[in-house]
Amino acid sequence: MRVIVVGAGPGGLTLANGLRQAGIEVVVYERNQQHGRSQGVSLHLEDQATTALRACLAPEQLDMMSAAVGARRDRVLSLTEQDGALVVSGSQSFENAPHLSANRRPVDRQLLRAVLLSGVSDVVRFGTALTGFEQRSDSTVRARFADGSTDTADLLVGADGIGSVVRRQYLPHVRVLDTGRCTLLGATPLSSLAGTGLPELIGDNPAKVQVTGTTMIVAAVRFTAPPPALRERWQAALRHGGVSEVEDYLMWALPTSAQHRGTDDSSEAVRRHARELTAATHPALRQVVEQARPATLARLSIGSLTATSPWTASNVTLLGDAAHAAPGFGANSAMWDAQRLNELLIEVAGGKQGLLAAIGTYEEAMRGADARPASFPGARPQGRPTGTSA
Ligand SMILES: Cc1cc2nc3c(=O)[nH]c(=O)nc-3n(C[C@H](O)[C@H](O)[C@H](O)COP(=O)(O)OP(=O)(O)OC[C@H]3O[C@@H](n4cnc5c(N)ncnc54)[C@H](O)[C@@H]3O)c2cc1C
């Protein structure tokens, strides 16, 4: 069996690793170049993602992963300013929040990508955008790419994100909805916040603080292994993922409305916008914005997908955000999809069931994932603490 995966996001790369481990031929096509700009700063790994990584990665990758995650987080703090000082005014436990595991841990997106790439870098074709596909009478599927090349496989997996080209052709009635929300993001080295007291005040838990017209989320990412040890031990893998700097940092997010976004997405424009939103706040938070590393400054739009009724299984399928946008939980969902699909494809390769039956089973479970709620700062599902990641 040969599988084409479109998209080297967390979902596509987790699947590719799992297939690789199982000896199934896989090739990944990614439209961006290898060291393209990352989508955000850090993610929360819930139990679903951790289980998926355990199932799909090689032992040395898991070793690297466990050194690359931050400390466990179990609550979100509220900060306010009192007599010129930032203080913790409240705290809400994640304990009763559905789908948020007690073991949730932050992971740096670029480090996660580096770990995932280290297992499959030789089968990822960067800079190759899928433009369409053709399902052929001999049960194979032929993928077409922007550079004029084609490739053929037994299964095509669209792991190409919310704007999925695969989904647009396969399920053309599904539309992307603009939620009207976007989030400004950045990462600020903890070393540049020395003396502000902020990293010590919040410890390892995320915190929210009211700024002009929105709630700013800040959370320290302190790696389990000291960054210099990480750098030295996994140099080669870090290079694959384009990770140039590993140091403890404070990630911050400012959810805002897209109408204020403007057209300039450069890092300086993002910093200017973040400066405006935090102008009237405590100096420590202003310093967080001023000292953010330019490469991490980003403005991400939040989209969602219209609902779809079940479709007939074929040799084309979808995974992660391409199938069900779950802002704030999407990477966990995508990795969970990848693990499930991987397990079923291993059964197909072992002759235990046919491909279409396996895809049907996978898609039924994957569609159920739409019900999973979001935990992301901009998304505020009812009855749950404001999310904490980016
Ligand atoms: C601000 C913010 C914070 C978030 N925080 C969290 C969090 O804490 N936890 C969490 O679980 N989720 C979080 N999410 C959601 C998460 O980022 C996504 O849900 C997740 O990245 C989806 O993974 P994916 O593999 O399905 O798709 P993506 O990560 O979108 O990857 C798709 C890949 O496909 C490639 N691609 C697209 N089109 C083509 C094409 N035509 N040909 C080839 N390649 C193509 C893209 O370049 C991309 O690399 C957050 C999202 C945002 C915006």
Q: Please name the residues in contact with 232: beta carbons below 8 A apart, sequence gap of 6 or more.
A: none
Q: What are the start-end ranges of the E strands in 1-119?
A: 2-6, 25-30, 42-45, 75-82, 85-93, 105-108
C-beta of 6 in contact with ligand 1 (< 6 A): yes
Q: What range does the domain containing 15 cover?
A: 2-371
The answer to whether residue 389 sits within a structural domain is no
Atom 10 of ligand 1, residue of closest alpha carbon: 329
Q: What is the CATH classification number for the domain harbouring 343?
A: 3.50.50.60
C-beta of 304 in contact with ligand 1 (< 6 A): no
User: What is the per-residue pLDDT for 269?
Assistant: 93
How far does the chain reach from its first CA to its final CA, in angstroms? 37
Residue type, 143: A
* Contact in structure between 256 and 184 (CB atoms under 8 Å): yes
3-state helix, strand, coil in the chain (%, to 5): 35, 30, 35
The answer to whether residue 379 sits within a structural domain is no
Distance 208 CA to ligand 1 centre (A): 24
C-beta of 385 in contact with ligand 1 (< 6 A): no
Ligand 1: residue of 321, 372, 375, 380 to mutate (most ligand atoms within 8 A of CB) is 321
Which DSSP symbol is given to 69?
B
The answer to whether residue 140 sits within a structural domain is yes
C-beta of 8 in contact with ligand 1 (< 6 A): yes
Q: Is 276 exposed, middle or buried (0-12, 13-18, 19+ CB in 10 A)?
A: middle
User: What is the per-residue pLDDT for 376?
Assistant: 33
C-beta of 328 in contact with ligand 1 (< 6 A): yes
The angle, 0 to 180 degrees and rounded to 10, between the axes of the packed helices 283-290 and 267-278 is 180
User: What is the per-residue pLDDT for 41?
Assistant: 83
- Residue 317: what are its φ and ψ, rounded to 5°? -145, 175
The answer to whether residue 119 sits within a structural domain is yes
* Contact in structure between 57 and 118 (CB atoms under 8 Å): no
C-beta of 124 in contact with ligand 1 (< 6 A): no
Helix (H) or strand (E) holding 158: strand 155-158
The answer to whether residue 387 sits within a structural domain is no
C-beta of 330 in contact with ligand 1 (< 6 A): yes
Atom 31 of ligand 1, residue of closest alpha carbon: 9
User: What is the per-residue pLDDT for 218?
Assistant: 96
| Secondary structure (DSSP) of 233-254 | HTHHHHHHTT------EEEEEE
Helix (H) or strand (E) holding 230: helix 227-233
The answer to whether residue 106 sits within a structural domain is yes
User: What is the per-residue pLDDT for 214?
Assistant: 93
| pLDDT by 10s per residue, the chain, length 390 | 999 999 999 999 999 999 999 999 999 999 998 876 666 788 888 888 999 999 999 998 998 888 778 888 888 999 999 999 999 999 988 766 665 666 788 988 888 998 999 899 999 999 999 999 999 999 999 999 999 999 999 999 999 999 999 999 999 999 998 888 889 999 999 999 999 999 999 999 999 999 998 999 999 998 877 767 777 777 777 776 666 667 889 999 999 886 665 667 789 999 999 999 999 999 999 999 999 999 899 988 888 888 788 899 999 999 999 998 776 788 999 999 999 999 999 999 999 999 999 999 999 998 876 544 433 333 323 222 222 233
Look at the chain and report how many structural domains it folds into: 1
User: What is the per-residue pLDDT for 386?
Assistant: 25
Distance 12 CA to ligand 1 centre (A): 10
Residue with tokens 């089973």: 361
The answer to whether residue 85 sits within a structural domain is yes
- Cα–Cα distance between 369 and 363 in angstroms, integer? 10
